[in-house]
């Protein structure tokens, strides 16, 4: 008996010695090991989305803003029953139970359950009282204007990184510092201590003000959506600019998407068609040739051309007009949009000179507008042009450009002859409010003289007058000018021009009481049905947009309408 007691005593002493030596080793010799293991189990570094800077319109209304919301995470090592917890959480949060169960069964100390959740979802999860669940504040991007601005602004990912549009282009300055929070939990998984960046330091993304006016943007988008739907079209875009500065007041594309849901169900809806889509412009290009020709002494407004009564055989190819025209002055070739007249006007001009004209007006290179993915024009080298190619190019076929290129070139024709760089960003301020960028109008080059520019505006005004192709765009209170264009599309199956698919475009503007162009607008509708002429499809859209926009911008009328029983005066 005494021997057993002795043996037990010896065993206890050995065990105590082992425990003591182990404790001595862990606490004195190598304390970092046990501290590290404790930190792994109870302390975690949680990376949260950074605070992005706000994007405002020109009047200071928010277009993209980050607001704090809750995100839910878990420590799988503290989850007692992963299968049961996964089932309950999946029902409460409407997420996949199988993938959640795999997360909760892992050996990790931290996994996201669902990020950017609603207050109702937080309440549901809290009511489950599951050990090992944590809640964190994160910024989520919200877009107050929804679909109308989506194609310009783009959107961000779950971690706050820019994925498309201006959010992508300016990601480097909108993105705040990465936020890391040191979290300590007790044995039940409850947060007992959290330390991270101070709120002032965390919210350090720069702020951007755009040239966009959200009111004009809404008008452009809503009228575009109406036009695409009413005409059973595939898509379309609208751009509203200040022709004397290059500022973009509105840039709308349809179809669009809701950036607040982050849906990728319709990828076509994510395109900013005004900047990235290239298309054959059709007759809207004709005033450019005339302006350039007048500037270089190759033609004049009164010069007369025989338009062959609507049918002209040129190098064994037949060209047609929509009406039977005889002799027309250059002014009326634009007013009635005679293809035959343009073919004859440019017949003596060399291909290389026409190419140089396109380059002069900015149709070959990207405009440089602040938007990712902008292409240049698609134009073959002039040495490859045949006589028929040259003829087609004279009335807007055989090459492709973007909407932003077209309106930039158009503005140069009507603003006194200056090609201006278009811009979307007005100014940028850092996190402290210090202005770090302020945009100013940039003159790329002079393309025509002020006198020729005034002549072009006068010719374009006749297009909107009685008998012109854009009579439907006229307004009783403003002098309106512009040009229609209806271009056939290439059939992808045959490689020939389609007889059913068209792009219909109107580009124009209004003159205020001072006699200067105040707004310029391009409306382009892709594949309208059943009507496809710009006079029917695009002109009414332009008219509605300009009427509403001029009222909002308080643009003084250039035409005074007589009151009942009085006399009227017209001031231009």
Q: Residue 427 class from Cβ within 10 Å (0-12 exposed, 13-18 middle, 19+ buried)?
A: middle
∠ Cα 534 536 541 (to 5°): 80
- Residue 398, Ramachandran bin (φ over 0: left; ψ between -120 and 50: alpha; else beta): left
Residue, of 30 and 220, whose pLDDT is higher = 220
Token pair, residue 133, equals 């669940």
Q: Check residue 193 and give its pLDDT.
A: 41
> Does the pLDDT at position 103 exceed 50?
yes
- The CATH architecture of the domain made up of 45-210 is Alpha-Beta Complex (3.90)
Q: Check residue 44 and give its pLDDT.
A: 57
Q: What is the share, in percent, of the chain residues with pLDDT greater than 70? A: 86
* CATH 3.40.710.10 domain locations along the chain: 214-258+280-552
Nearest to 352 by CA among 380, 316, 314: 380
Q: Which helix (H) or strand (E) holds 457?
A: helix 450-464
Judged by average pLDDT, the poorest of 104-113, 211-220, 333-342, 446-455 is 104-113
Q: Check residue 569 and give its pLDDT.
A: 35
Homologous superfamily of 214-258+280-552: DD-peptidase/beta-lactamase superfamily (3.40.710.10)
Q: Check residue 570 and give its pLDDT.
A: 33
Q: State the chain's mean pLDDT as an integer.
A: 88
Q: Check residue 493 and give its pLDDT.
A: 84
The sign of the dihedral angle between the CA atoms of 443, 448, 452, 455 is negative
Q: Check residue 78 and give its pLDDT.
A: 87
Q: What is the pLDDT of residues 15-38, one digit of tens each?
A: 777 677 766 666 676 666 655 665
> Does the pLDDT at position 192 exceed 50?
no
> Does the pLDDT at position 97 exceed 60?
yes
H-helix segments, 147-285? 147-153, 165-169, 171-174, 199-202, 214-230, 273-276
Do the beta carbons of residue 543 and residue 508 sit within 8 Å?
A: no
Q: Check residue 567 and give its pLDDT.
A: 35
Strand-strand pairing, 207-210 and 55-56:
parallel
Virtual torsion, Cα 457, 460, 466, 468, nearest 10 deg: 170
* CATH 3.90.1310.10 domain locations along the chain: 45-210
Q: Check residue 176 and give its pLDDT.
A: 77
Q: What is the pLDDT of residues 165-191, one digit of tens each?
A: 999 999 999 987 766 665 555 555 554
């Amino acid at each position: 008996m005494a021997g057993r007691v002795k043996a037990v005593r010896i065993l206890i002493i050995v065990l105590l010695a082992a425990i003591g030596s182990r404790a001595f080793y862990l606490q004195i010799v190598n304390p970092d090991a046990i501290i590290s293991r404790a930190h792994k189990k109870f302390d975690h570094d949680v990376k949260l989305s950074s605070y992005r800077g706000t994007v405002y319109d020109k009047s200071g209304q928010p277009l993209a803003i980050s607001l704090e919301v809750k995100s839910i995470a878990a420590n799988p090592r503290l989850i007692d029953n992963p299968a049961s917890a996964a089932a309950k959480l999946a029902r409460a949060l409407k997420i996949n139970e199988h993938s959640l169960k795999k997360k909760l069964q892992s050996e990790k100390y931290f996994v996201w359950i669902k990020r950017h959740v609603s207050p109702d979802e937080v309440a549901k999860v809290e009511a489950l009282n599951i050990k090992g669940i944590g809640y964190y504040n994160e910024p989520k991007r919200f877009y107050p204007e929804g679909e109308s601005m989506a194609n310009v602004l783009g959107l961000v990912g779950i971690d706050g990184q820019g994925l498309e549009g201006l959010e992508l282009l300016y990601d480097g300055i909108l993105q705040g510092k990465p936020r890391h929070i040191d979290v300590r939990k007790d044995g039940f998984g409850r947060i007992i201590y959290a330390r991270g960046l101070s709120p002032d330091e965390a919210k350090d993304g720069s702020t951007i003000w755009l040239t966009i006016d959200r009111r004009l943007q809404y008008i452009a988008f809503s009228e575009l959506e109406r036009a695409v739907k009413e005409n059973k079209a595939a898509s379309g875009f609208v751009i509203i600019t200040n022709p004397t500065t290059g500022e973009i007041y509105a840039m709308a594309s349809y179809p669009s998407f809701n950036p607040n849901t982050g849906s990728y169900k319709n990828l076509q809806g994510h395109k900013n068609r005004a900047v990235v889509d290239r298309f054959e412009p059709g007759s809207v290009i004709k005033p450019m040739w005339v302006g350039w020709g007048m500037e270089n002494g190759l033609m004049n407004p009164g010069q007369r051309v025989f338009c062959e009564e609507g049918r002209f055989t040129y190098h064994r190819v037949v060209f047609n007009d929509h009406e039977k025209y005889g002799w027309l002055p250059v002014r009326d070739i634009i007013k009635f949009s005679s293809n035959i007249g343009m073919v004859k006007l440019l017949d003596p001009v060399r291909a290389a000179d026409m190419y140089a004209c396109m380059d002069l007006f900015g149709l070959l290179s990207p405009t440089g507008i602040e938007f990712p993915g902008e292409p240049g024009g698609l134009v073959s080298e002039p040495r490859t042009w045949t006589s028929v190619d040259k003829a087609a190019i004279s009335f807007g076929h055989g090459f492709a450009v973007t909407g932003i290129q077209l309106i930039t070139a158009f503005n140069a024709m009507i603003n006194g002859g200056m090609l201006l760089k278009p811009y979307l960003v007005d100014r940028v301020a850092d996190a402290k409010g210090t202005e770090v960028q302020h945009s100013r109008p940039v003159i790329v080059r002079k393309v025509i003289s002020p006198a020729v520019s005034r002549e072009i505006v006068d010719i374009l005004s006749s297009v909107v007058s009685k008998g012109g192709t854009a009579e439907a765009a006229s307004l009783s209170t403003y002098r309106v000018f512009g040009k229609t264009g209806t271009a056939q599309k290439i059939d992808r199956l045959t490689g020939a021009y389609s007889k059913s698919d068209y792009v219909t475009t109107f580009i124009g503007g209004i003159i205020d009481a001072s006699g200067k162009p105040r707004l310029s607008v391009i409306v382009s509708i892709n594949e309208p049905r059943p009507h496809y002429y710009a006079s029917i499809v695009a002109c009414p859209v332009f008219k509605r947009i300009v009427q509403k926009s001029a009222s909002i911008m308080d643009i003084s009328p250039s035409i005074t309408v007589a009151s009942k029983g009085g006399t009227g005066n017209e001031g231009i």
